[in-house]
Chain A
Amino acid sequence: MYHHKTIAELSRGLAAGEYTSEQLTRHFLQRIEVHGTALNCFITVTADEALTQAREADQRRARGEAGPLTGIPMVHKDIFCTDGVKTSCGSKMLDNFIAPYDATVVRKLKEAGMPLLGKANMDEFAMGSSNETSFYGPVKNPWNTGTVPGGSSGGSAAIVAARLAPLATGTDTGGSIRQPAALCGVTGLKPTYGRVSRYGMIAFASSLDQGGPMTGNAEDAAWVLNVMAGFDVRDSTSVEREVPDYRSGLERPLDGLRIGLPQEYFGEGLNIEVAKVIEVAIEQYKQLGAEVIEISLPNSKRSVPTYYVVAPAECSSNLSRFDGVRFGYRCEEPKDLEDLYKRSRGEGFGSEVKRRIMIGTYALSAGYYDAYYLKAQKMRHLISDDFKQAFESVDVIMGPTAPDVAFELGAKSDDPVSMYLSDIYTIAANLAGLPGMSIPAGFVNDLPVGLQIIGNYFDEARLLNVAHQYQQTTDWHTRTPDAFM
């Protein structure tokens, strides 16, 4: 069936005229109708728009103007602004927000001819590691609906894992693509900071946020990144640098690949069964010709404390725009302007978002700036330097994406610090701005385990090559939960 095909296969099938985009789109819409509600993975389903866009894609193909992705339906995380379509960011604050323009990523994938099936559920304003902070309720993990899918791109991960779409976009500020990709058994890529435009991607922490693809395998991610990546004059931190064809290097052999294993990623706090799965994956890489080198990232264990200054500080500033005046939620009967601000924000934001705004406000307030924000920026330098040094002797760094498999719904919702530690292995790459991936590498208790691969700046092609070669000799990425066959 269509939903077991990769993007590359679907592209060939469409080109050969075996099926139309309308047929594909109807098929995925029907799967969404059957499974979407139980998984709670969609905030909005855009069935009419999808079918219109699918018919346009078919016409475009008939005119001989189809590109490689034309006609393949997809989903956007609800953090990307979609012109004329509700864009909630998982928050009551934006429950009534119909975006008046397209994000650059949305425009590019639309121009490539990909019909939009809908908008994926997510943690509120991308703040969470379990999808439980969403105003629209938690997403369920397709592998075990009693467990979380990870977050914040949990809806996107669940959608790809349950084969409700061959592609969902995600965003990653501290692990929000990689950690849910690991917990749901899909392939997720966070590109180098600045590689993919942030224009129209609702800002959480602007020096860390980066969008990327979540797909069934690395080859598909390469096809999609070819379109998503590139300079954008509308994003002041977008990098002016040529985009290579990410598909062209996929088949490169791994002979002589130097893999760095940071000792800090295999210590206390890591589930021993997860560690064993990762060790088996590393063995597989040795079989493929790679050389393994022990490395150390000594400051990486301070990455979570550092992140919980930098990200909340930037979030408290970014989220000050939500004031109940120009768009979004406004409280009833405000008695004066201050009451309007305070109650619109107090009622419109959920408790995790309020916690982070308050931490950021505190860290930036008079008398505390040096002790928190300045200190964290210095730590960020040390964490980043660790990677620079490591990449002098290795090509990629590997380890677990998350310290454990998916946990039960509700297990960590009352304990923010224990939730934050879910991202202990992913955050450092964001602080340094490096690209990272998570690929499926096995199972523990019938739940997926993700292998993380971190690369040097703008080395996405290498990451995709390293992931693709592994996927040529393993089949973890082809597994589908029984209920979604």
Chain B
Amino acid sequence: MSLQKEDVVKIAHLARLAIDEADIPGYARNLSSILRLIEEMDVVDTEAVTPMAHPLDMVQRLRDDVVSEENRRECFQKIAPQVENGLYLVPQVIE
């Protein structure tokens, strides 16, 4: 699989990454070579193999639905880029 310039632009958009126009050919080249490496998997027949999502056979632990964390809003908002009245600020979304 070889990625073209427009593929890189599309993937960068899906990943919400701004990349410089000048860097696009470099990304296309590097990402294509990584995909060629990845495609070495294709020589192995995996038709009958079940996928493995996780290294250990585990089940999700459950717990009682009780409050376990204290409210640390002020502490967490101190490290935010922009807050006002306890809210995180972002550029206006609705005109």
Residues on A lying within 8 angstroms of B by beta carbon are 96-98, 100, 193-194, 207-208, 233, 236-237, 239, 299, 302, 304-306, 308-309, 316, 320, 323-328, 330, 334-343, 345-347, 349, 351, 354-355, 357-359, 361-363, 365, 372, 374-382, 384, 416-417, 420, 431-434, 457
Within 8 A of A (CB), among B51-91: 51-56, 58, 60-61, 63, 72, 75-76, 78-82, 88, 90-91
Interface string of B22-37 (1 = CB under 8 A from A): 0100010011011111
For B90, list chain A residues within 8 Å (CB).
325, 334, 337, 340
For A208, list chain B residues within 8 Å (CB).
55
Q: Is the CB of B17 within 8 A of A193?
A: no
Q: Is the CB of A342 within 8 A of B18?
A: yes
Q: Is the CB of A377 within 8 A of B44?
A: no
24 CB-based A-B contacts, threshold 8 Å: A96-B79, A100-B75, A193-B55, A207-B55, A236-B61, A308-B37, A324-B81, A325-B80, A337-B93, A341-B16, A342-B16, A342-B18, A345-B15, A354-B27, A355-B31, A358-B11, A358-B15, A359-B38, A361-B11, A377-B53, A378-B50, A378-B52, A381-B50, A420-B34
Give min CB distance, A337 to chain B, whole Å: 5
Nearest residue in B to A206 (C-beta to C-beta)? B54
Q: Is the CB of A362 within 8 A of B80?
A: no
Question: In the complex where A304-B37, A358-B31 touch, is A194 in contact with B56 (Cβ < 8 A)?
Answer: yes
Nearest residue in B to A430 (C-beta to C-beta)? B55
- Distance between Cα atoms of A459 and B60 in the complex (Å): 24
Nearest residue in B to A351 (C-beta to C-beta)? B23
For B53, list chain A residues within 8 Å (CB).
207, 377
Contact partner, B34, options A354, A357, A359, A374, Cβ 8 Å: A359
For A420, list chain B residues within 8 Å (CB).
34, 37
For A326, list chain B residues within 8 Å (CB).
76, 80, 88
For A355, list chain B residues within 8 Å (CB).
27, 30-31, 34
Contact partner, B44, options A302, A325, A362, Cβ 8 Å: A302
Q: Is the CB of B49 within 8 A of A382?
A: yes
Question: In the complex where A239-B56, A316-B15, A379-B46 touch, is A416 in contact with B41 (Cβ < 8 A)?
Answer: no
